[in-house]
Amino acid sequence: MLRFLTAVAAAPVQVILLISAAVALVGCSRPSTLQEVLAEDVLHVITREAPSIFYEGRDGATGYDYELAKRFADELGVELRVRVAEDNTEILSVLSRNYAHIGLAGLSGQPGIAGQYRVLPTGITAQSVVVYHRDQMRPKSLEDLTGQTLHLVAESNHEHLIADKNQGFDWQVHPSIDAAGVLARVESGEFAYAVVSSNELELNHVFYPHVKKAFYLGEPEELAWLFPTDQDNTLVNAASEFLDKLKADGTLDQLAERFYGHLDQLNYVGARTFMHHVDNRLPKYEELFQDYASDFGMDWRLLAAIGYQESHWRPNAVSPTGVRG
């Protein structure tokens, strides 16, 4: 021992530092997942592009799950770093290897998911719904699909609902297309019948007027964030407490209203008209809306929405009662 201490005393400073670091690591426990996030100053999230989860809007990234994740990262005081996957198969693969902290996949805590990942519900409930092209017979149950093929995306909420049923129909999983792609193929008539999540149908239905809802499969399930099981509970517990706070102060309801509250107000023509006005009229007044909204502590998009409701952003609009836009 004396020889060891003598040797250490005579060693270069770099060697002493390395020995000290090794001793410190032996004596310390591994940091928790939350501590790792805070130490790196980054929250790593993997997701896919979908109107219900994440997409690039006019003002940058948005989407219900993205907005929640951004608020959570801000609450932790860290950067939100988003990796966009091709599909849910890639998201689940990344989470299984613990290469991201949270997965935003639009999945529920269904059998097979809850056993492989830590699951945290996020406030949006959805059901699996069978859809069909309007020129086809409307099925009322799976029994009506005998001899037909149901189409669905891979790694979805739907497979476990139909996998064990033997009703005389086929079903085909498509790993290379998302829910919007499935709906587009039903719209064109390429697919006669398909299964999608009700929330994704609600967000997309105005763009596919030939797609009709037939019936639901199973009960409503709450969609969830997914966490790798290699993590400890510290990050998921912090996220759970954060979501509880947003639920209590009304933020969850506000976000749900923002992304889902308008869905029964527009038809196909109205949606197309609105998108055209967003691209061609809104840019002229966006800065004005932002300036006035900041004066009153409002979300400028709310002010813009009021303006659209009143005049479709036409400054010379005149109502039947003489009110000018």
Question: Which residues have a catalytic role annotated?
Answer: 310
Token code pair at residue 196: 């999608």
Sorted by sequence, the CB contacts under 8 Å of residue 253 that are 6+ apart come out as 247
Question: What gap in Å lies between CA 136 and CA 186, rounded to an integer?
Answer: 10
Sorted by sequence, the CB contacts under 8 Å of residue 147 that are 6+ apart come out as 168, 169
Across-strand partners of 153? Answer: 174
Sorted by sequence, the CB contacts under 8 Å of residue 162 that are 6+ apart come out as 142, 150, 171, 195, 217
Q: Of 151, 50, 49, 155, give the one whose Cα is nearest residue 96.
A: 155
Query: Using the 8-state DSSP alphabet, how is residue 32 labeled?
Result: P
Question: What gap in Å lies between CA 280 and CA 133, rounded to an integer?
Answer: 33
Buried b vs exposed e over 252-282: b needs ≥16 C-beta within 10 Å?
beebeebbeeeeeeeeeeebeebeeebeebb
Sorted by sequence, the CB contacts under 8 Å of residue 100 that are 6+ apart come out as 44, 45, 46, 83, 94, 228
Name the residue with tokens 């097979």: 112
Measuring CA to CA, how many Å separate 317 from each of 274, 303, 320? 16, 17, 10
Question: What gap in Å lies between CA 200 and CA 90, rounded to an integer?
Answer: 20
